[in-house]
């Protein structure tokens, strides 16, 4: 009776301890999670505030660049004659257009009666008094009004200009014209690294920039929840309001700020998705590490008591796992051997097929091909049992193989072998690894004299990189990717996870780790 009673008490104590530990774990995680959430919210507000000022500064700089461009035109007009101005403005329009957003650098010379007596509107443009731009300029010849936007053919343009007096009472009006659609495309490339979107509008609500280009020229007060009174309320960057974005259809933090330059007066709104939280921050990391340490400590304690009570079962499972692992290793080795046995006939079949085509095309080349094939095939007669060979042997073999292929495709295929590791060629590599990657490139890509196939083999200290320009054939070949699967199986068997075979843009890349 004593022994059963002791067991009952021990089990009861184990359950009590386990329950206590679980309770402590849950309470700890609850408080730590609350701390993380609070820290996360404060951190995200700080990040959005920082990104807002970054976005604001980047866009303000672009508007200031336009003001500076107008100042540059002023300096040019003061030091040049009218005839020289035409040439210089023509060069400016073609060469320096501030990111392809300035549609035209132009000038008009008007007399005291406000009549145009000379002009430059581009090298191939003629002057018309009734042109919308000309009417707008002559209505205010001294300088452009702030927010001087003009509509022509349902497109918005921005006229920015200034003037200076000439002799005999004449006046030189000079400036730039911006196509707002081109300006929009340019602004969308500014500060794209942060997850936000912005729109810029005048105090009347006229939208001049928005991610949705169709909204340019619309009234933002009619298209969104934004109201005119929102622009005159005090701006608080630390506590931005949360509103529903009509553009994204989700909640966002909305920052509103005055947005001014010499030729524009208005406002900017920058919006950040509320759910977009950066969790790689120090306070969150500290809390996460604390949770991890606490959880691991409790699990270790629980595991200790559990392992003591179930030690025998654990040992049995461990022995069973070892046996299963042996079976898996033997099965993998058999599959690998089957794959290796298929490589030789696979290579021979492709080589004989190439020889068959050469016999009719070029008998002399076919003879050289046959001689080189016999030398190459000697390497295939006795494959290694462990599927691994010396790197030097594999390099020698691939050089012969490349020579074999160049006998047939002298102009369609270009090879390049770069050995950056000649002093450390004591490494090993899977059997036929280089030949498989080269053959894969030859088999699945189009190669012509106009567009030759470029294959490059670069030997580094710990790996080999095989690249080729990617120009795939339209029809798939039978047995596609057979060789790459063979290599993948070898690296998997030897626990080498760094084997890579993938397309990167216009290039196909294979990375072969060395042993």
Provide the pLDDT confidence category of residue 401 given band limits of 50, 70 and 90.
confident
By mean pLDDT, which of 44-48, 291-295, 434-438 is the weakest? 291-295
pTM, two decimals, is 0.48
Smallest Cα–Cα separation from 253: which of 208, 200, 212, 196?
Answer: 196
**pLDDT tens digit string along 295-308?**
767 766 766 666 56
Assigned CATH for 383-513: 3.30.565.10
d(CA 361, CA 358): 5
Burial track 98-137 (b if 16+ CB lie within 10 A, e otherwise) = beebbbbbbbbbbeeeeebebbbbbeeeeeeeeeebbebb
Smallest Cα–Cα separation from 162: which of 114, 108, 122, 120?
Answer: 108
Using CA atoms, how far residue 116 sits from 130, 132, 139, 351, in Å, is 12, 15, 13, 80
d(CA 285, CA 223): 41
Which one-letter DSSP state was computed for residue 380? H
Q: Is the pLDDT of residue 9 over 50?
A: no
CB 270 within 8 A of CB 198: yes
Alpha helices in 153-277, H assignment, sequence order: 180-187, 220-223, 228-232
d(CA 386, CA 395): 18
CA atoms within 13 A on the CB side of 168: 5
What local confidence, expressed as pLDDT, does residue 229 receive?
Answer: 87
Q: Which two tokens stand for residue 354?
A: 């190439």
Percent of the chain topping pLDDT 90 = 25
CB 395 within 8 A of CB 429: no
Provide the pLDDT confidence category of residue 312 given band limits of 50, 70 and 90.
low
Assigned CATH for 34-50+195-275: 3.30.450.20
Q: Who wins on pLDDT, 313 or 164?
A: 164
Give the CA angle between residues 200, 202, 208 to the nearest 5°: 45
Residues 6+ apart with CB under 8 A from 350: 439, 443
- CATH says 80-183 is which class? alpha beta
């Amino acid at each position: 009776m004593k022994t059963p009673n002791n067991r009952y008490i021990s089990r009861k104590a184990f359950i009590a301890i386990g329950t206590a530990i679980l309770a402590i774990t849950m309470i700890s995680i609850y408080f730590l999670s609350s701390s993380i959430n609070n820290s996360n919210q404060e951190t995200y507000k700080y990040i959005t505030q920082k990104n807002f000022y970054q976005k604001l500064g980047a866009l303000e700089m672009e508007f200031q660049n336009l003001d500076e461009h107008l100042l540059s035109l002023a300096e040019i007009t003061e030091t040049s004659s009218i005839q020289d101005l035409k040439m210089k403005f023509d060069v400016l329009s073609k060469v320096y257009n501030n990111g392809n957003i300035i549609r035209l650098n132009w000038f008009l010379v008007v007399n005291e009666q406000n009549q145009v007596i000379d002009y430059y509107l581009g090298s191939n443009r003629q002057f018309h008094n009734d042109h919308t731009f000309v009417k707008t300029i002559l209505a205010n010849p001294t300088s452009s009004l702030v927010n001087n936007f003009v509509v022509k053919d349902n497109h918005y343009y921005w006229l920015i200009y200034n003037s200076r007096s000439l002799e005999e009472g004449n006046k030189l009006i000079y400036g730039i014209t911006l196509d707002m659609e081109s300006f929009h495309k340019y602004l969308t490339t500014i500060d794209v690294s942060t997850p936000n979107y912005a729109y810029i509008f005048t105090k009347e609500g006229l939208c001049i920039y928005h991610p949705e280009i169709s909204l340019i020229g619309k009234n933002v007060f009619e298209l969104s929840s934004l109201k005119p009174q929102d622009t005159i309320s005090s701006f608080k960057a630390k506590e931005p309001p949360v509103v529903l974005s009509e553009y994204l259809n989700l909640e966002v933090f909305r920052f509103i700020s005055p947005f001014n330059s010499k030729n524009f007066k208005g406002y900017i709104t920058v919006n950040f998705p509320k759910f977009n939280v950066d969790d790689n921050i120090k306070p969150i990391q500290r809390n996460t590490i604390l949770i991890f340490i606490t959880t691991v400590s409790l699990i270790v304690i629980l595991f200790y008591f559990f392992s003591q009570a179930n030690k025998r079962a654990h040992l049995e499972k461990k022995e069973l796992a070892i046996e299963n692992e042996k079976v898996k290793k033997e099965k993998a080795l058999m599959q690998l051997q089957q794959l290796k046995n298929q490589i030789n006939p696979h290579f021979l079949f492709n080589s004989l097929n190439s020889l068959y085509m050469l016999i009719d095309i070029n008998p002399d080349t076919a003879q050289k091909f046959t001689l080189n094939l016999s030398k190459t095939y000697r390497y295939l007669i006795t494959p290694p049992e462990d599927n691994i060979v010396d790197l030097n042997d594999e390099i020698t073999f691939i050089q012969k193989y490349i020579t074999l292929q160049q006998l047939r495709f002298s102009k369609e295929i270009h090879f390049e072998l770069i050995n950056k590791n000649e002093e450390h060629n004591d490494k090993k590599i899977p059997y036929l690894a280089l030949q498989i990657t080269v053959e894969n490139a030859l088999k699945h890509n189009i190669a012509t004299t106009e567009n030759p196939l470029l294959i490059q083999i670069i030997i580094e200290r710990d790996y080999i990189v095989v690249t080729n320009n990617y120009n795939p054939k339209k029809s798939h070949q039978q047995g596609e990717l057979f060789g790459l699967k063979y290599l993948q199986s070898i690296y998997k068997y030897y626990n080498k996870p760094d084997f890579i075979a993938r397309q990167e843009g216009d290039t196909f890349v294979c990375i072969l780790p060395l042993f």
